[in-house]
Amino acid sequence: MAVLPPDPVYTLRCPDMAVPNSLCFHQNDRLLAGTLKGSVLLWDLQTNRSNLRLSVGSQPIISLHHTHDLLISQEKDGTVALWSMENAGYVRQRTFDNQHMGFCRSVLLDNLLFYPIEENSISILHIDDPNAFSRTLIPTKNSQLPKLGMITCLKAFKFAGKYYVLAGYESNHLVTWDVDLGETVDVQTMQGDVMAIDYDPYTNRGVIGGSSEHLTVFTYEPKTMKLQPSGDISVKNPGINCIRIRHDLKVLSVGGWDGRIRVFSWKSLRPLAVLTEHKTGAITDISCSTDKVTIWKSPIMAVGGMDGVISLWDLYN
């Protein structure tokens, strides 16, 4: 049985009825939210006040990343922008138009940004070096691949010192790319659609979710990097928007279409809690601070929902 969870430590409501579509922390005490209306809101978690609104564009912001001094935004129409911190705000430094309309979120690993371009290709951008050439992983170069359709989700990771990307496609295929070689090393056909992925190379285990009421657990065969499904986790209502393995590898959090956040032990995959703070609409994103948020003296999980609320949780720390 799942244990009754604590209440959130705080809830933030977006101004002007904005819906938080993507979330990221900056240095733990700052939280940024990209909205469906194309703006980025910044909260100071020392005061829980939103003290900055950045106009990015007219499209929904589907992903945000923040390094020490660089903000990266991705819009639904494929536009990726890099913003530098200046004074009390942000200044746009570089913009990339990618001819990709969709909901696949970009992924930042080390100083490499992985994001979808055109119909089914993946671009790799070195965010710290404007003179470095972007690389592109193009499935059409491999005649052995089936017709894939658009990319639906990405997960970049390092395994045994090498970079890989796991990509889900609307054809229900999962393709693993060797980034150094620019080639595919594995193709899997899934029973249902693939809309959300997370994977931890330390435990060599990942989770896939889609429109069904099942989560698929998988591992990699280390020598061949072949993806191997290893089991299922059932959820009460179908539809998964986001999956997050927390940095400390203690919990797995899953955001659903039903507005529930289901929390599992990452070690045993045993259900720990079902969070019901978001009463209407789907969960849009989940983000976890990498260290303690000062005011709560604990790492915090932020959850955004279609109800316009961001809930903050101190769970199982």
Q: Kindly report each contact of residues 124-132 with a partner whose C-beta sits within 8 Å and lies 24 or more positions away, as own/partner.
A: 124/179, 125/80, 125/96, 127/67, 127/70, 127/72, 127/82, 128/70, 130/94
For the chain, what is the mean pLDDT?
93
The contacts of residue 223 (CB under 8 Å, 6+ apart) are none
DSSP secondary structure string for all residues of 177-239: EETTTTEEEEEEE-SS---EEEEETTTTEEEEE-SSSEEEEEEEETTTTEEEEEEEEE-SSS-
CA atoms within 13 A on the CB side of 259: 13
Q: What is the pLDDT of residue 141?
A: 64
Cβ burial of 234 (10 Å; 0-12, 13-18, 19+) is exposed
pLDDT tens for 174-220 read 999 999 999 999 999 998 899 999 999 999 999 999 999 999 999 99
φ and ψ of 244, to 5 deg: -135, 125
C-alpha 220: how far from chain center:
20
The contacts of residue 228 (CB under 8 Å, 6+ apart) are 218, 219, 220, 221
Residue ranges and CATH numbers for the domains of the chain are 11-17+102-314 (2.130.10.10)
pLDDT tens for 262-301 read 999 999 999 999 999 999 999 999 999 999 999 999 999 9
In this structure, of 78-87, 139-148, 231-240, the range with the lowest mean pLDDT score is 139-148
Distance CA 25, CA 108 (A): 13
pLDDT tens for 2-42 read 556 789 999 999 887 789 999 999 999 999 999 999 999 99
CB 200 within 8 A of CB 164: no
Work out whether strand 301-305 and strand 205-209 pair parallel, antiparallel, or are unpaired: unpaired
Distance CA 173, CA 277 (A): 34
Tokens 């929904």 identify what position? 60
Count CB-CB contacts under 10 A for residue 309: 20
pLDDT tens for 292-303 read 999 999 999 999
Q: CA 13 → CA 19, 27, 109, 145, 278, distances in Å?
A: 9, 21, 30, 45, 12
